[in-house]
């Protein structure tokens, strides 16, 4: 039996044939579409390395069946920058050394992006740490990550205010 799913991925609508209905969004992105930014850390929802944004919310793509998200809007780390211009969340991770080996970084950045979009980041480091607790970092770059999320939130907040004014 043939299956397919239609997704808008980083602004581009694509219909993808699936030979198995159990294909996860993570495997679809990495193995079929060559979008390898989202990482396969644990493949069981425990590390956050595979975090992407689906319909405006951050999810662990290793736990999401591609076929269940037919029609969804998907944003991956590859779609975050505007051409050569990095997104403020990416810039903040660089500025605050929010990474060491970089394996967890795409997931951390997408999670931070989602958190800020959800309006849950605030300016309380404890709250940011709690909200980012689903994203593990084997290198222990947590301090820089928290600082980066706080700064990115501030930057995006200021940009939004400017747009509204």
Stretch (H or E) spanning 156: helix 142-164
Residue 46 lies near ligand FES (rule: CB under 6 A): yes
Residue 29 lies near ligand FES (rule: CB under 6 A): no
Residue 137 lies near ligand FES (rule: CB under 6 A): yes
How buried is 150 (Cβ within 10 angstroms: 0-12 exposed, 13-18 middle, 19+ buried)? buried
Q: Which of residues 63-102 bind ligand FES (CB under 6 A)?
A: 99-102
Segment lying near ligand FES (by CB under 6 A), choices 7-15, 45-53, 112-120, 153-161 = 45-53
Residue 120 lies near ligand FES (rule: CB under 6 A): no
Residue 12 lies near ligand FES (rule: CB under 6 A): no
Dihedral sign for Cα 133, 45, 78, 8, please. negative
Residue 104 lies near ligand FES (rule: CB under 6 A): yes
Give the alpha-carbon dihedral of 75, 81, 86, 88, to 10 degrees: -40
**Nearest partner of 114 among 68, 159, 48, judged by Cα:** 48
Residues lying near ligand FES in the complex (CB under 6 A) are found at 40-43, 45-50, 60, 62, 99-105, 137-139, 141
């Amino acid at each position: 039996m043939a299956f397919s799913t239609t997704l808008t991925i980083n602004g581009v609508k694509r219909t993808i044939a699936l030979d198995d209905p159990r294909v996860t969004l993570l495997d679809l992105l990495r193995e079929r579409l060559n979008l390898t930014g989202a990482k396969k850390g644990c493949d069981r929802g425990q590390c956050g390395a595979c975090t992407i944004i689906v319909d405006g919310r951050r999810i662990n793509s290793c736990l999401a069946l591609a076929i269940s998200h037919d029609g969804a809007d998907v944003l991956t780390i590859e779609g975050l920058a505007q051409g050569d211009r990095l997104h403020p969340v990416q810039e903040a991770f660089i500025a605050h050394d929010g990474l060491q080996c970089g394996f967890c970084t795409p997931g951390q950045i997408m999670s931070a992006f989602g958190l800020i979009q959800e309006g849950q980041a605030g300016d309380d480091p404890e709250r940011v740490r709690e909200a980012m607790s689903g994203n593990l970092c084997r290198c222990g770059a947590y301090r820089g990550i928290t600082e980066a999320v706080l700064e990115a939130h501030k930057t995006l907040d200021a940009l939004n205010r400017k747009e509204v004014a």
